Chain A
Amino acid sequence: MNVKQRITSAPTLILASLCLFATFAVAQQPPNAPPNPNITVLDKDGTARISRIVAVPKTLSPEAQAMLATGKSWCPGPRSPEAKELIERAEKLYPVKIEEDKMVGGVKTKFVTPASGVPANKKDRVLINLHGGGFTVDSGSYVESIPIANLTKTLVVSVDYRMAPQNKFPAPVDDVIAVYKELLKTYKPRNIGIYGTSAGAALTLMAAVRIRHDGLPQPGALGVFSGNGDSTNPTDSSAMYSTSGLVGAKIPDPGNTRSVMLGDHDPKDPLASPIFADLKGFPPTLCMSGTRDTALVGTSNFNRALRRAGVDTELVVFDALPHAFWYTTGIPESTEALEIQAKFFDQKLGK
């Protein structure tokens, strides 16, 4: 603080201070002074050691600012009271009918449909949801399916795929493919969308690459929300953010987390790291993230890979919001995110 005051009260430091402030200022501090807010030191190998003070930006809605100020997770773990509350909130905001334990292609799923019923012009469409939860738990099957079923007025089939550590790659992909093949008996491929958040986004990409690999017809649209198509390297955003943004302990990189699921499988296998696959001819793909998302780089890098391959792809990034923030429904930014997701499927399916 006193450092900042020193900078700001000395007009003669002019613009140079803007560039040089951090390291200089800290060097001038007595040893017992509070930590400088803007330290940056680069190691010889370029590793940056930084400290920063990051206020809740006023660019957000008041609701999002208030939520960030609580420091709470926007995507709490399964079976927690917070997660239960979020499911209830989603059901209230986006009324749906939920049918549990529906078997599709031998795989357990749940069917989520709008409470008002599926209108006639949407009956030939279906969305497959692959929930988040680090491939080890189900964190999102309800909160990812409920709003989208309601907003798209379309049946959402949320897949209870086999998870790690008991079931490793490619078991979850096999399950998604089994569901997809079964749905292909009823629905045209271009009327099927596949989407997911976090691990579900990664699985969406793995399934899409596998569909091509197996010579199956491609779905009409994909949704990659806070995802990563690269299991090989940690990213800059996973070094900066936890799954709760700036708050909380960081878990290993989404790519590394996947090693629980990948086991000894080669992470460079395009079936496991879709960013290494030939992506030409991929279906239209919506990518979504936030600037405090640990998967910001994973998501935006996959969007770039799709662009390079000439795929119809869109990226939307929300300022200051963390991983899977749309799990917390009812916040204006979440509403906006979910409406963009729904609109994308509405536009791209059936084309």
Chain B
Amino acid sequence: MFKKSSTIPPGILQAESIFACAILLSAWVPVRLLAQETAAQAAPTTDTTVIDTDGTAHITRVLPVPRTVSPEAQQRLATGATWAPGPNQPETAQLIAKAHELYPVTDEASTIAGIPVRVFVPKSSAAAKRDRVLINLHGGGFTVDASSYLESIPIANLTGTKVISVYYRLSTQAPFPAAVDDVVAVYKEVLKTYKPANIAIYGTSAGAILTGQVAVRLKHDGLPEPGALGFFTGHADFSRTGDSQSLYAVPGLVGSRPPEPEASRPLMKGTDPKDPLASPIYADLKGLPPTLCITGTRDLFLSATSTFHRALLRAGVQADLVVFDSMPHAFWFEIGTPESKEALEAMAKFFDRHLGGK
């Protein structure tokens, strides 16, 4: 029963993106309280499982807030709120302010190869790090910039390295491979100043997806690979989804998302979802640089992130995976929580270790 249905009109469930959910999240909490009362009667009270003949599991579960996460994370999980609020939300402005406070940097707008960017510069940088640069590709479902500040500020500060966050074309402006083209243009320009081994490319969510696409494209174009990649809660396959997209939504357990392929996103218009340049899981990944993958056990991209990590391992790539207990999509945006701090430090440490051709 209840197979992935062909009756679903394109533009809804497969629509713009999960990340658009995040945009709406400031509205979510009060509505949730209302909905909670009306739905309380239907709320499962026990754990049950029914398995169809095709293996589809119909489950109910009662999941307490785990005591294995930090008290701050327990509090946040208990509210059901997202950890990745969308752009132009009051909470996002607060998070950016907190990021500036905890991880001081300066930043300014610029353009590189005609592409708009923002450059985040640490307040102090060791001489040994001045020949390095990080390229950030922000999240936001390819439709908005949800997080260029939140992804760049902490990493610039923690690595003591300049971060260039690229405002690549969004899917509302041009479909695949426009965003990849933009990043490659910036990368080529940066290559004039920096050795490839001293450059890292990283991103969260859509930015992680784009990071994978760019790495495959660089190989395809015969350009040198950078020294490291950061693939932070992403996927590398527009043709299939893993288990975690059936279980979790952007805020984690609150809400869910049917496991639809993302092939019919506007981004993918005219692109074969199995094109290796769009879905790196189908590419020959040999020769990709050291890659750090991060996700959480309540992350809708838990499956996809860990699946890409395995593909890298099979290709002989030096790839690391870190999975955070009960954390949802892009939880490191919630600056100041111990889990966010640990994740950001793991990212920074990875870049520090791998940049410079060590």
Contacts and interface: CB of A to CB of B under 8 A. Distances in A.
A and B from one assembly? yes
A23 B255 CA distance: 8
Most-contacted residue by chain B among A68, A300, A307 (CB, 10 A): A300
A27 B24 contact: no
Nearest to B253: A48
A47 interface: yes
Interface string A299-312: 01101100110000
Given A18-B21, A250-B47, A315-B321, A47 B255 contact: no
Contacts of B298: 236
B242 A8 contact: no
B225 interface: no
B107 interface: no
A315 B322 contact: yes
A337 to B, nearest CB: 10
Contacts of B67: 233-234
Interface string B65-79: 111100000100111
Interface string B297-324: 1100011101101100110000011111
A303 B32 contact: no
Interface string B86-127: 000000000000000000000000000000000000000000
Interface in B22-48: 23-25, 27-28, 31-32, 35-36, 38-40, 42-45, 47
Given A18-B255, A69-B53, A237-B297, A11 B11 contact: yes
B260 to A, nearest CB: 10
A165 interface: no
Contacts of B78: 42, 45-46
Contacts of A23: 32, 35-36, 38-39
Interface in A1-43: 1, 4-5, 7-9, 11, 13-24, 26-27, 29, 35-42
B57 interface: yes
Nearest to B320: A314
Interface stretch (B12-20, B164-172, B182-190): B12-20
Given A8-B5, A49-B43, A235-B325, A18 B13 contact: yes
Nearest to B302: A291
B63 interface: yes
B55 A69 contact: yes
A11 B15 CA distance: 10
B181 interface: no
B241 A291 contact: no
B149 to A, nearest CB: 23
Contact of B24 (A15, A42, A246, A318): A15
Given A48-B253, A53-B2, A300-B324, A58 B9 contact: no
A71 interface: yes
Interface in B240-265: 240-244, 246-247, 249-250, 253-259
Nearest to B57: A246
Given A55-B56, A250-B47, A317-B321, A235 B68 contact: yes
Nearest to B45: A49
B220 to A, nearest CB: 24
Nearest to B69: A236
Contacts of B324: 300, 304
Contact of A8 (B7, B303, B326): B7
B313 A320 contact: no
B253 A15 contact: no
A316 B4 CA distance: 29
A250 B46 CA distance: 12
Contacts of A120: none
A43 B241 CA distance: 30
B49 A248 contact: yes
Contact of B243 (A39, A50, A320, A340): A320
B287 interface: no
B57 A58 contact: no
Given A315-B321, A336-B314, A27 B58 contact: no
A82 B61 CA distance: 28
Contacts of A304: 322-325, 342
Interface string A54-91: 11111100000100111100000000000000000000
Contacts of B310: 316-318, 336
Contact of B63 (A39, A65, A239, A318): A239
A58 B240 contact: yes
A26 B55 contact: no
Nearest to B141: A15
Given A39-B44, A55-B3, A303-B323, 6 more contacts: A38-B258, A39-B39, A41-B40, A236-B66, A317-B302, A317-B321
Interface of A: 1, 4-5, 7-9, 11, 13-24, 26-27, 29, 35-42, 45-59, 65, 68-71, 230, 233-237, 239-240, 246-248, 250, 291-292, 296-297, 300-301, 303-304, 307-308, 314-320, 336, 340
7 contacts: A19-B25, A22-B39, A36-B42, A41-B42, A49-B44, A49-B60, A240-B247
Interface of B: 1-5, 7-9, 11-13, 15-16, 18, 20-21, 23-25, 27-28, 31-32, 35-36, 38-40, 42-45, 47, 49, 51, 53-68, 74, 77-80, 237, 240-244, 246-247, 249-250, 253-259, 297-298, 302-304, 306-307, 309-310, 313-314, 320-326, 342, 346
3 closest Cβ contacts across the A-B interface?
A46-B78, A69-B55, A23-B35
